[in-house]
Amino acid sequence: MQLIAQILFIIAFVFGVGFFIRNIRKLTRNIKLGKDIDRTDNPKERFANMARVALGQSKMVRRPIAGIMHIFVYVGFVIINIEVLEIIIDGIFGTHRIFSFLGGFYDFLIASFEILALLVLIGVIVFWLRRNIQKIKRFWANEMKGWPKNDANYILYFEMVLMALFLIMNATDYQLQLNGADHYANEAGIMGSFPVSQYLLPLFDGLSNATLIIVERAAWWLHILGILFFLNYLYYSKHLHILLAFPNTYYANLKPKGEFNNLESVTNEVKLMMDPSADPFAAPDPDEDEQVPEKFGASDATDLNWVQLLNAYTCTECGRCTSECPANQTGKKLSPRKIMMDTRDRLEEIGENINKNGEYKAEEDNKQLLNDYITKEELWACTTCNACVEACPIGIDPLSIIMDMRRYLVMEESAAPNELNVAMSNIENNGAPWPYNQMDRLNWAKEEA
């Protein structure tokens, strides 16, 4: 019986982890569909940024209630994973509380796991209340209908159940140890310390050891199977941030937020135009015909760079960006969070297409990120103020995607709003966005002060 349980556990474990690895492979393949960008510079500064923002949660606490609750859940989940390690070893070898040889330190560990589990439970319940009862506005925006809304609640229910199972498992285990049950009790005394689950003991009052073992085993199995399931749920959910927040902050932009990249393809063209020695009648390079000329800007997810795609998978749809966006606050259609969700959803669609056909077949879906997901109206509402970038607790940059798409609209489709076209032709003709003569630029100095 014990052996069967061990074998079943190993099968479940291998299957769970194997499936997870498969998902991670799909994820990295999709991210690599993005264009190349070099973010390997300044490793020290990048590590520091990751340590501060992801590990240290420094931007989360800018909103204190959500921030502190999030730290409970985050620390809880990270630390309780030490206990999961013990659970896995016990599962494989059929042991009981293998780390208990640590003695007093083990008691301390179990006690802190229990307290953290309680804090996680409190945090998750507060999150649920904020989302569903208090109905905080950013959780009820247009893009949060259907799956995104349900996804968020499923995650919260899952965490509640996992923590409850963990505490039930400990409570029954403790009772079995007190009862001196075989396999559970140890001559050395009680293994572990149960500051939280001891209060659950009255629930199991009067149950026989056999029943207690069933409850304990059931809780143990559901808890670990739940974790394995949750691990695989990540890929299909916004919850991927628990993993991707780390690479995302590491590869985040370190330059001043106001600095937008200069398109290299354009620089080459401009240099050629300004170069007096360039031969306008030169025969084209024979190799050049073979290549499709590079697209300016982005009309689809794969025109973006891989960091932007990583951003899209990292987004956990908290909506801080959208709640800080001046366009969104004043009722415009633009929502930076939607930009990220659309990019991710479109990339997933491309990924599915590749899974099916071996390579991306455009004729299969006839869709692109622009228009089918993100409309021009959204793109033109942006003031490039960087509030969304500043607000993101894990270094996502929705503005860079908006800019790349505007570039496509203007340079490939000449589809800027008419007033902007007027301003741009003024700049071109007279060096100012208004129709004033460049020769009048110093007239102010002759006017009366």
Partner 1 sequence: MAEAIKVPTMAEYMAEGKKPEVLFWVGCAGSFDDRAKKITKAFVKILSKAGVEFAVLGTEESCTGDPAKRSGNEFLFQMQAVTNIEVLNGYEIKKIVTACPHCFNTIKNEYPELGGNYDVVHHTQFLKSLLEEGRLKVEGGKFKGKRITFHDPCYLGRANNEYEAPRDLLRKLEVELIEMRKCKKNGLCCGAGGGQMFKEPEKGNKDVNIERTEQAIETNPEVIAAGCPFCNTMMTDGVKGKDKEGNIEVKDVAEMIAEAEEL
Q: The tokens of 270 are what?
A: 């401009």
Cα-based distances in Å from 89 to 13, 71, 105, 390: 11, 28, 19, 43
CB of 62 to partner 1, least distance (A): 8
Considering only 36, 38, 259, 288, the residue that binds partner 1 (CB under 8 A) is: 259
Q: Which long-range contacts (CB under 8 A, 24 or more apart) does 358-367 make?
A: 360/302
Report the site for partner 1 in 264-323 (rule: CB under 8 A): 266-267, 269-271, 273-274, 296-297
Closest to 304 measured CA to CA, from 267, 338, 346: 346
Between residues 81 and 267, which has the closer beta carbon with respect to partner 1? Answer: 267
Task: For tokens 């000449």, name the residue.
Answer: 414
Between residues 48 and 200, which has the closer beta carbon with respect to partner 1? Answer: 48
Residue 80, classified by CB atoms within 10 Å of its CB into exposed (0-12), middle (13-18) or buried (19+), is: buried
Between residues 221 and 296, which has the closer beta carbon with respect to partner 1? Answer: 296
Considering only 183, 203, 260, 356, the residue that binds partner 1 (CB under 8 A) is: 260
CB of 447 to partner 1, least distance (A): 7
CA–CA dist 296, 139 (Å, integer): 35
Considering only 301, 304, 334, 347, the residue that binds partner 1 (CB under 8 A) is: 334
| Mask for 343-382, x = binds partner 1 (CB under 8 A) | ----------------------------------x--xxx
Closest to 143 measured CA to CA, from 342, 324, 321: 342
Report the site for partner 1 in 405-434 (rule: CB under 8 A): 405-411, 416-417, 419-420, 422-424, 427-428, 431-434
| Mask for 210-249, x = binds partner 1 (CB under 8 A) | ----------------------------------------
Tally Cβ neighbours within 10 Å of residue 60.
21
Closest to 257 measured CA to CA, from 88, 391, 161: 391
How many residues line the site for partner 1 (CB under 8 A)? 71
How is residue 294 annotated by DSSP?
P
CB of 285 to partner 1, least distance (A): 21
Report the site for partner 1 in 23-42 (rule: CB under 8 A): none
